[in-house]
Structure 1
Amino acid sequence: MKKTRLIVASGNVHKIYEIKKILKGLPLEILSKDEVGLKDLEVVEDGKTLEENAIKKAIEVSKKVDGIVIADDTGLFVDRLDGRPGIYSSRYAGEDATYEENNRKLLMELDGVELEDRTAKFKTVIAIVMEDKSYKTVEGECLGKIALTPRGNHGFGYDPLFIVDGYNKTFAELGEDIKNKISHRANALRKLRVELENILKG
């Protein structure tokens, strides 16, 4: 059976691995933007929302390749901080900030705030640009709280700080198998899978 090309507008190896795992079994050849020769393509994420950023990234890549293109944008929205870091989550402590620097800044901003007042949600929006250049988006959320100190050593980004509702453990403590079932990205990717199944049938 001929496979349809699905290009992920990202070079993040964690992300590609997660996507391949959740879309396993579909007749897709899943490639990162690096693998289709777009390693140097940097899209400026200047949208006001996750949706705008995801759509912009997917459209820019789709102009240069054949196939279906997906792009996602994820943000951590902390209630006590009026939704920050939000769309700036990956560069919260500065343009080239490390995960540790972002985490440090977040803990500093929440210094003195009790655990029950550190409610937050992770949200992922995935944009899908079809071969005819039409597009749609799907999204997933995960609710939790921000830990008082980093916990666990799996995962990446804010995983050591995000205590998932109903688990009393951070993503970094739960490990990738559980994370890949319950996370914001997993929820969005499951919806993506349904959309792709429909597209492939169509």
Structure 2
Amino acid sequence: MFSTNISTTLSFNATVLGSKQRILLLVALLLLSTFSGSSAQRFCNVCRNPPGGGFRDLANPGKRFTLPNGRTFTCGFMKQSMRDVRVDNTAAPGERHMCATAQYIVDRYCNCYGTPMAPIASEFIDPNPACRLCGLPRLDNRRVPRVNYNKLTDTGRYGRLNCRGLEMALAQGVFPASACSQLRQRSANHCCNFSRL
């Protein structure tokens, strides 16, 4: 932001300079913009740096918002509080996480201008999505029947679990996505169907 204001001022005054002075001024502006670009990579940009280059900055620094915990902030405060937080190789432990948290908050409550980017939420992939143990069409029930709650099932790599506990753990995303089909294959018939007489 600082270098942008300087370059605007210098560009405006360049109309009164000679051609050699204009060339020197353009070189100086190029150096300033290069320095400000590398600076943006070293420190946290709450509006996120677009992949492949570009520029983004706050459009509404005065906007106030309240977080779910009841604390109220402005978008400008979020930017100011992150201006010296490093995200490069010299970042202290926790600085990148702090920056990512601020970026998420700004993405949700503030507006940024510049190179368009998709919202952070669209980039999120849940590594442990919910999985329905009894979600297969060939089963008797869509949920573990009460009579099977305490029935033990051998899940293989996760050991022996009671059917209700396994159903709840899968529904809450306790297991990785890759385990869903394996656990269904091993335990769904045993847990979701009534015992045959």
- With the shorter chain as reference, the TM-score category is under 0.3
TM-score when normalising by structure 1: 0.20
* Structure having the larger proportion of residues in helix: 2
* Structure having the larger proportion of residues in strand: 1
TM-score when normalising by structure 2: 0.20
* Structure ID, larger Rg: 2
